[in-house]
Amino acid sequence: MIRSKSPLSCHNRSMYARKVRVEYVEAGQRHACPLKWLDSFSMRNFTNDQVFDDTIPTGDGQMEIGARVPLDRLQPAMEDWFRRKSYLPKGATLLVEEQRRYSK
């Protein structure tokens, strides 16, 4: 049996235990932020803030983050970075929401 390989090792699974959805709202429509944007933000030399080291983009509009990453600081930091890079359209707002875990 062949198992699909995750981009995260077993060690990193607990580090990046939280899943977040990152979207922007423009003219009332929600859009997933492109992977390129998320990857750009996650590079430490760009954010220059150690607290965001535990962020890893996993797809368009999707990131996994560590337990120590504060959502109340993540959203404004990402929005500021996206505006400085001219990624966000004028008048658009950024939404960063933690995905709920469902127990079986």
Mean pLDDT of the 87-100 span? 94
84 domain-assigned: yes
Per residue in 35-47, pLDDT tens? 999 999 988 645 5
65 domain-assigned: yes
> What pLDDT is recorded for position 65?
92
Q: 49 vs 32, which has greater pLDDT? A: 32
> What pLDDT is recorded for position 43?
81
State the Cα–Cα distance between residues 39 and 57, nearest whole angstrom. Answer: 6
Task: State the CB neighbour count (10 A cutoff) for residue 101.
Answer: 8
pLDDT of 17 > 90? The answer is no
> What pLDDT is recorded for position 50?
78
28 domain-assigned: yes
Task: Tell me the residue range of the domain where 48 lies.
Answer: 20-97
State the Cα–Cα distance between residues 83 and 90, nearest whole angstrom. Answer: 8
How many domains in the chain? Answer: 1
11 domain-assigned: no
Task: State the CB neighbour count (10 A cutoff) for residue 74.
Answer: 21
Quick check: 85 and 99 in contact, CB under 8 A?
no
55 domain-assigned: yes
* Helix-, strand-, coil-residue percentages of the chain, each rounded to 5: 35, 25, 40
Per residue in 50-86, pLDDT tens? 778 888 999 999 999 998 889 999 999 999 999 999 9
pTM for this one?
Answer: 0.77
**Packing angle of the helix pair 35-42, 71-84 (nearest 10 deg):** 110
